[in-house]
Structure 1
Amino acid sequence: MENVINRQLFLTEERRKTFKKWPFNDKNKCNARNMAEAGFYSVATGEDDADAAKCFLCGKELDGWEASDDPWEEHKSHAAKCAFVQLGKKEDDLLLSEYLSVVKQYMINEIKQMAEESKNKLDEKSKFIRRRCLSKK
């Protein structure tokens, strides 16, 4: 499954490592560490989208970042229902019960995504079979 999120991205440090060519440095509010702490990892594929980032939990993808942007505030304004945003804490500050709630939400999201992908594949297969049956008439 191509869209299933890497479980290592639960960890801030693993998310931070994805920001290899992030356009902002540590002097900027929108630096790689703050992005990772706010739940984002880089999904940049080239120079045109060097600032593309996605939440490891809710899947919200954002680009067009500016050096002064606050990653937590941007995440909150674009994905207020994200379970990670609602906790509003860095990974190291989460209680065990809060961390487990994030894991639970991740698993729910992953299962929904897998179900959606399976449904789409089944729909395509059904359309193919239907066309084949209709062409034989």
Structure 2
Amino acid sequence: MDSFNEEDIKMYFYENRLKTFEKWPFDEDCTCTPENMAKAGFIHTPSDNSPDVAICFFCLKELEGWEPEDDPEKEHKSHSSSCLFIALKKNIEELTVEEFLKLQKERHKSIIIKTGKDAIAKFEEAAKLKRAEMIKTAMEEE
């Protein structure tokens, strides 16, 4: 994992997050506008079934089912209270190099934890299916 490649750090910047909200289903008459979503650290990651999926680029918390009156910052804090990005008191441009490196280290921890949890969930599901298959085979042989 390269901590300093362009793709890895570009979402720290508001303008880059905002660009991901081209086809966001909520407009200026809502609280969850693209601008407010991007300010809260979200990027738009729609799918065919869920056009309003957004994920925090930092803590990787994914939220969908947005309502027009939802406040992105409040939703982010309530669903991911430990996210250091949403807790930042400074703009990214104001961080010292040391502060940025500490933040990036925490972001990588989030990525590793999420990747590990996803891998464990996949393994547990595969084990569950294999166990059921083995039980079925054993029952048929009796």
Does residue 78 of structure 1 match 2:79? yes
The 5-angstrom pairing of residues 123-134 of structure 1 reads: 123-134=128-139
The 5-angstrom pairing of residues 40-119 of structure 1 reads: 40-45=42-47, 49-56=50-57, 57-66=59-68, 69-87=70-88, 92=93, 93=95, 95-119=100-124
TM-score, length basis structure 2:
0.65
Q: 1: CA distance between counterparts of 2:119 and 2:92?
A: 26
RMSD: 3.2
> Which structure has the higher relative contact order (CA within 8 Å, separation 6+)?
1
- Please give the per-residue CA displacement for 1:31-77, whole angstroms capped at 9, x wherever unaligned: 3244234232224335x8543323342434133332x6542222112
Q: 2: CA distance between counterparts of 1:10 and 1:62?
A: 24
Q: Which runs of 5+ in 1 are unaligned?
A: 1-7
Shift of 1:28: 6.5
Partner AA of 2:83 in structure 1: C
Q: What is the total number of aligned residue pairs between the two structures?
A: 127
Cα 1:60/1:49, change in 2 over 3 Å: closer
Cα 1:73/1:21, change in 2 over 3 Å: same
2:4 alignment partner in structure 1 = none
TM-score, length basis structure 1:
0.67
Question: Radius of gyration: which is bigger?
Answer: 2
Q: Give the share of equivalent positions with the same residue, in percent.
A: 28
Does residue 39 of structure 1 match 2:44? no
Q: 1: CA distance between counterparts of 2:112 and 2:103?
A: 14
Q: Which runs of 5+ in 2 are unaligned?
A: 1-6
